[in-house]
Amino acid sequence: MGLSPMVQPADVDESVIPGESPKDMVERLALAKAGAVAEDHPDALVLGSDTTVVLDNEVLGKPESTNEAVSMLQALSGRTHQVITSLGLIHRASGREVVDSEVTEVMFDKLTNARIKRYVAGGSPMDKAGAYGIQDDQGAFFVRRISGDYYTVMGLPLNLFYRTTARAFPDLIAE
């Protein structure tokens, strides 16, 4: 796409606002992350992204403890959930910003408590929404099937990024 990405974490409060839908939450956070970084880089096209796991309309964010990680994985075991990833793109110099989202359904195998505890003990789930990473060497084994974009579950839906960027910022990228 002709882009030379630079990674810069954004310090954004990721608290859930009561009554906010999961999709609205990740879109708000993706734009907030992009906006925080765009303040320092007004001439750059800035991408912010946020991902959440949703089970029965409940947001499963990043676990705050190993016990919470175990509980999340037990809840996901043998069930289908949604992963929502939103992209916020901001170019301050032109005053343009856009946000878009992708939803993918993920079905988990039935997981034993021993399997869950072994995974959690490895530390991987602690920085991931829903307490798992589909790209992890163990987390990938939990997933029986997906319906949608694999990269949405990883946290950066590349096709959505390409389509959204090409539509909203055609003058800033190489086709």
Report yes or no: 146 and 153 within 8 Å, Cβ to Cβ. Answer: yes
Mean pLDDT to the nearest integer, 130-146: 93
Q: Is residue 13 part of a domain?
A: no
Q: Is residue 125 part of a domain?
A: yes
Q: Report the domain count for the chain.
A: 1
Q: Is residue 10 part of a domain?
A: no
Q: How far apart are CA 161 and CA 166, in angstroms?
A: 8
Runs of H (alpha helix) within 41-131:
66-76, 113-121
pLDDT in tens, 16-51: 899 999 999 999 999 999 999 999 999 999 999 999
* Host domain of residue 91: 22-168
Q: Is residue 97 part of a domain?
A: yes
Q: Catalytic residue at 50?
A: yes
Mean pLDDT to the nearest integer, 153-171: 92
Residue 175's pLDDT is what? 62
Mean pLDDT to the nearest integer, 57-68: 95
Active site residue: 13, 24, 50, 137, which one? Answer: 50
Q: Is residue 7 part of a domain?
A: no
pLDDT at 58 over 80: yes
Q: Is residue 85 part of a domain?
A: yes
Residue 172's pLDDT is what? 76
Give me the phi and psi of 107, to 5 degrees please. -110, 125
Q: Is residue 26 part of a domain?
A: yes
pLDDT at 173 over 80: no
Share of the chain above pLDDT 90, in %: 87
Q: What is the CATH number of the domain that holds 116?
A: 3.90.950.10
